[in-house]
Structure formats: C-alpha cells, structure tokens
Amino acid sequence: MSATAPEDSRYQPDAPIKLPPLYAWPPRPRAALRWLFSSLLFPWGFFFIGLSFVAWYFLTPPLAEMAELRPGWVALLWLRNAALLTLVAGGLHWLLYIRRRQGRRCKFDRRWPNTGSEMFLWRDQVRDNMFWSIASGVTIWTLYEAVTLRLYAGGALPVPPLHEFPLYCAVMMIGVFFWSTAHFYFNHRLLHWQPLYRAAHELHHRNVNIGPWTGISMHPLEHVIYFSLFALWWVVPVHPLVVTLTGLYQGVSPAVSHSGFDFVEARGRRLSAGDWFHQLHHQHFNVNYGNTPTPFDKVFGSWHDGSAESLRAQRERLRKLHAPG
Ligand SMILES: [Zn+2]
Ligand SMILES: [Zn+2]
C-alpha cells in the first residue's frame, strides 16, 4: 500500500528512500542545506538540541559538584534520563498504542505489540522493552555520561565556554547527529557478528514489530557498545551541552525512530516519526545496518530503499555472499 491508502491495508511510504543530497555529486549545496534543516534537524534534531539545553541548565547538578563520582549526583542524572525517556517513549506509546488516536494509519506493521509470547519477559513485549530500556539502557547511558562529565569537572579536559566558542559548539552539536549515526553503523555491524549476535543483539531483534519502547531495549552488553560513542568526548573537548545532547540523542531518539508509525497525526497535521530505513532492518534483518545521514550501507552494499526491486537485489547479494565456494 502507499502513504495515501486507507487505514486497513499495509502501509508503505510512496517513494523509495533516497541518499541525502549532502552526498550528491556534483555537489548540490542548496539542496544539502535544505536537507540539513528540513530533514536532519526539523523537527526532531531541534527538539533534542532544545531538550539538551533544558536538561543541562535546569535538570543537571552544577559541573563543579561532579569532580568526584558520587552516588548522589549520578542518581539524579539517572532519574533525569529515565524521566526524559519515559516522557518521550511513554508519550508516544500512550498516544499511538494506548489511546490509538490514529488507529493503524501510517503504521508500518499492522500488528499491535505482542502479548503471550515466551520470548518476552512477563510474556509482554511492552513491559519487556521498558525493563531493558530503563534498567539496563538508562543505567549504562548514565554511567558513560557521568564518567565523561567527571573528566571535565576534574579538569582533565578544558570546557570551551559557550559565549567564546558559539560556532564551535553549534558545529559539534550538529556533529553529534553524524557521529552517532556513523558510530551506530559500525557497532551495529559488529553486533551482527554471530557470537555477539547470539550473546546480545538477538534481544533487540526479538522485536520484529517495533514500538517506542523498543528503541533502546537491548542486552546490557549491547548497551556498553552502543553508548561507547561518549568516548569521543574523552579526547575531543566539548561543552557539557554536547555531552548531554549525545546522551539524549542516543538514548531517547530511538523511541521516535522505533515508533512503528511513519507519521504522528496531530490536529490535522502530520509530524514525521518512525524511521522506515531502520524499520526495514527489523523486517529483513541483513539490510540497513546504519542510518541515512551517514550512508555506509550505500558504500558497503546493504542499502535497501524499500522498493521491491531493491529487495530483490539485496536477496541476490545475500545469496551470493552465502553461496558455497
Ligand atoms: Zn540488527
Ligand atoms: Zn532497532
């Protein structure tokens, strides 16, 4: 079905997924800038940047207090992260899966979350996903963030003041979106290596039909790898705002990209949610390991644009890859 089909048939966006104009050759600077602001940053990029300002200036203890790793401030950081994840994942879940405000309109998979399967803790997909996200995901995210902030608080790295280096800070904030997606491609590829897949990543892939709480529903070992992107700020000095954005983007944005819906409808308007590119990874498994802003799948041949033709090409690629001899 297409993006305009009625509620009761299978949903699929109309157009195949395209490479961002940022990578066009010959270069298309105007189209690239338009893509940067309209696709990468609007609305969710700006939302996470705004959230990082609120989180850092209003919901985080002062940096001076973080010179030593103490359970008090680390616990506050954990509570802040858990609350912000719950606000976004829980809000989307409430709107789309409890109230079911738009029924199945724009829903990629017609099924609702699973109950009764032994695959999931308490035989309940949503509760299982919430458990792994909060108990393991938020904890490991918070520990990485706490260690990073402690390095800055202790003077191991300089803090570039915002008023002196506003451009540097802005570039690094936008850089978070590229660093996060590039890091994701390589760590995700590693997690599809059979021993690691069996030990950790299969837990995330139990969710073929995904929802907002699936985003960071992962095995603790996967969380350790997934949140290791903080390590870049152990060598490259940035303002703590960038550190905060890194955590929020890596920890909370998957709730949006795993919402299971292409758009959220609100007051007659459509707000983009979901990520068809990653949805196809959950559906077909050996394609689309990364994200579109850093298109390594295009470079390494695992790019599936959602069309039947592209799926055939991907199946042929895998057949040759696994063919004996
Ligand atoms: Zn995977
Ligand atoms: Zn996923």
Q: How far apart are CA 311 and CA 112, in angstroms?
A: 25
Give residue 170 CA to ligand 1 midpoint distance, Å. 31
Contact assessment for residue 90 and residue 103, using Cβ atoms and an 8 Å cutoff: no
Average confidence (pLDDT) over 221-243? 98
d(CA 57, CA 240): 10
Distance between Cα 142 and ligand 2 center (Å):
20
* Distance separating alpha carbons of residues 289 and 297, to the nearest angstrom: 7
- pLDDT attached to residue 201: 98
| pLDDT tens-digit series, residues 184-203 | 999 999 999 999 999 999 99
The pLDDT tens digits of the residues spanning 89-145 come to 999 999 999 999 999 999 999 999 999 899 999 999 999 999 999 999 999 999 999
Tokens 């949503």 sit on residue: 126
- How does residue 207 score in pLDDT terms, banded at 50, 70 and 90? very high
Alpha-helix residue ranges (DSSP H) falling in the chain: 29-35, 44-58, 71-85, 91-93, 125-131, 139-153, 166-191, 194-196, 202-205, 220-226, 240-257, 276-284, 296-300, 308-322
Per cent of the chain over pLDDT 70 is 96
DSSP string, 39-99: IIITTHHHHHHHHHHHHHHHSS--GGGGSS--HHHHHHHHHHHHHHHIIIIIHHHIIIIIS
8 pLDDT above the threshold of 90: no
pLDDT at 260 over 70: yes
CA-nearest of 258, 273, 245, 212 to 48 is 245
Q: What is the pLDDT of residue 128?
A: 98
Contact 250, 227 (CB under 8 A): yes
Per-residue pLDDT averaged across 61-82, rounded? 97
Measured from the alpha carbon of residue 210, the closest ligand is 2
Model confidence over 147-160: pLDDT tens digits? 999 999 999 999 99
260: left (phi over 0), alpha (psi -120 to 50) or beta: left
Q: What is the dihedral of CA 87, 91, 97, 100, to 10 degrees?
A: 170
Two tokens, residue 283? 């559906």
pLDDT at position 323 = 80
What distance in angstroms lies between residue 75's CA and the mean position of ligand 2's atoms? Answer: 27
pLDDT band at 267 (very low <50, low <70, confident <90, very high): confident
- Rg over CA atoms, the chain: 20
Give the closest ligand to the alpha carbon of residue 278. Answer: 2
**Rounded distance from Cα 169 to ligand 1 centre (Å):** 32
CA of 50 to the centre of ligand 2 (A): 24
Tell how far the Cα of 207 is from the centroid of ligand 2, in angstroms. 8
Q: How far is the CA of 302 from the centre of ligand 1 (A)?
A: 12
| pLDDT greater than 70 at residue 9 | no
CA 323 – ligand 1 centroid, Å = 22
Considering only residues 320 and 239, tell me which one the structure prediction assigns the higher pLDDT: 239
Expressed in angstroms and rounded, the spacing between residue 263 Cα and the centre of ligand 2 is 17
The ligand that comes nearest to the alpha carbon of residue 202 is 1
Percentage, residues of the chain above pLDDT 90: 90
Kindly identify the ligand whose nearest atom is closest to the C-alpha of 279: 2
Q: Alpha-carbon distance 265 to 239, whole Å?
A: 36
**To the nearest whole number, what is the mean pLDDT of the chain?**
94
Q: Which two tokens stand for residue 287?
A: 């394609």
Which residues are CB-neighbours of 89 under 8 A, at least 6 positions away? 133, 212, 213, 215, 252, 255
Instruction: Please state the rounded mean pLDDT for residues 18-46.
Output: 96
What separation in Å is there between the alpha carbon of 94 and the centre of ligand 2? 20
Of 7 and 40, the structure prediction assigns the larger pLDDT to: 40
Q: Which ligand is nearest to the CA of 274?
A: 2
- Kindly state the average pLDDT of the residues 218-227: 98
Cα 168 to middle of ligand 1, angstroms: 33
pLDDT digits (tens, 9 = 90+) for 268-320: 899 999 899 999 999 999 999 999 999 999 999 999 999 999 999 999 998 98
Look up the pTM and report it.
0.95
Give the residue-averaged pLDDT of 77-82: 98
Phi, psi of 202 (to 5 degrees): -60, -25
The Å distance, Cα 59 to ligand 1 centre, comes to: 33
> What is the 238 CA–ligand 1 centroid distance (Å)?
30
Which is nearest to 246 in space by CA: 142, 154, 136, 129?
142
What band does 325 get if pLDDT is binned at 50, 70 and 90?
low
Per-residue CA distances from 203 to 35, 88, 160, 230 (Å): 34, 22, 39, 23
Ligand nearest to the CA of 260: 2
Tell me, what's the pLDDT at 14?
Answer: 84
Average pLDDT of the residues in 59-88: 97
Q: Locate the domains of the chain by residue range.
A: 63-322
Q: Are 87 and 79 in contact (CB under 8 A)?
A: no
Average pLDDT, stretch 15-34? 96
Centre of ligand 2 from the C-alpha of residue 62, in Å? 34
What pLDDT does residue 224 have? Answer: 98
159: CA distance to ligand 2 center in Å?
A: 34
Decide if pLDDT at 264 tops 50.
yes
In this structure, which ligand is nearest to the CA of 191? Answer: 1
The confidence band for 4, taking pLDDT boundaries of 50, 70 and 90, is very low
